[in-house]
Amino acid sequence: MIPTPDLSHLRPADYEHVYEPAEDTFILLDALEQDEELLKSIQPRVALEIGSGSGCASSFLGSITGPSSVLYLCTDINTHACSCTQATGRQNKIPLDSIHTSLSHPFLSRLRHSVDIILFNPPYVPTHQEEAFTAQTERDIGGAWAGGADGMQVTERFFPQVAELLSPRGRFYLVAVAQNDVPAIQRRMRAQYGLDSEIVLKRRAGREHLSVVRFQR
């Protein structure tokens, strides 16, 4: 088993502002570990995590694909999360480039067709749209989970960018829950953006039915 990244440098005060890794994080790590040979075989040059939080997922990916051969870009709207991501990279000897930015930032457009691995564990919890809007505006820990109608408010904003970002050999890993309607997501991504998909892992965690979906051209 690939060790979970060392997060001992993070303190309780950090988790007041940054999402602490939980079952949704760990199912993503398990999916990446399951795909270890695939991820190595595509010889990635650029990896991108949307909403990196603590930096746990990108650090784990770095332990699979290597700390020196890949550019690890980690974005978050939360400045606390950006600091934690950078610190987690240092703690685990993975060079994470933490970028304080939103989904609409032109920075992403400059990565057109060049990203080999995209990780996205979005705010997927269904909430009132106003709650999700407030959470995203405040750019604090609430933005890590409040997902608006069907938990898809933030995820829907990113979908049109996925096909533009992915390289020809790229893979996009998405964490979702049953309320997000995973089959509908898969159909839409195929019909609108030409991306095939497969559910890599499914797991029940309390009341949540979690899935990790892998998309590719």
* Domain of residue 192, CATH code: 3.40.50.150
Q: What would the pLDDT profile of 160-196 be if each residue is shown by its tens digit? A: 999 999 999 999 999 999 999 999 999 999 999 999 9
182 belongs to a structural domain: yes
2 belongs to a structural domain: no
Written as six digits, the tokens of 196 are: 């095939």
Q: pTM score, two decimals?
A: 0.93
172: region left, alpha or beta (phi > 0 left; psi from -120 to 50 alpha): beta
Determine the pLDDT at residue 171.
Answer: 98
Determine the pLDDT at residue 24.
Answer: 95
Tell me 93's DSSP state. T
Distance of CA 76 to the CA centre of its chain: 10
95 belongs to a structural domain: yes
170 belongs to a structural domain: yes
125 belongs to a structural domain: yes
Q: What is the tally of structural domains in the chain?
A: 1
Determine the pLDDT at residue 196.
Answer: 98
> Which residues in the chain show pLDDT less than 70?
104, 128, 131-147
Determine the pLDDT at residue 140.
Answer: 58
**In 3-state terms, what secondary structure has residue 213?**
strand
Determine the pLDDT at residue 116.
Answer: 98
Beta-carbon contacts of 149 under 8 Å, excluding residues fewer than 6 positions away, are 126, 129
Q: Are 27 and 208 in contact (CB under 8 A)?
A: no
- Could you tell me the residue range of the domain that residue 50 belongs to? 46-216
31 belongs to a structural domain: no
Number of neighbours of residue 170 by Cβ within 10 angstroms = 24
**In 3-state terms, what secondary structure has residue 144?**
helix
14 belongs to a structural domain: no
7 belongs to a structural domain: no
Q: Are 99 and 2 in contact (CB under 8 A)?
A: no
Distance CA 29, CA 212 (A): 10
Distance CA 38, CA 205 (A): 26
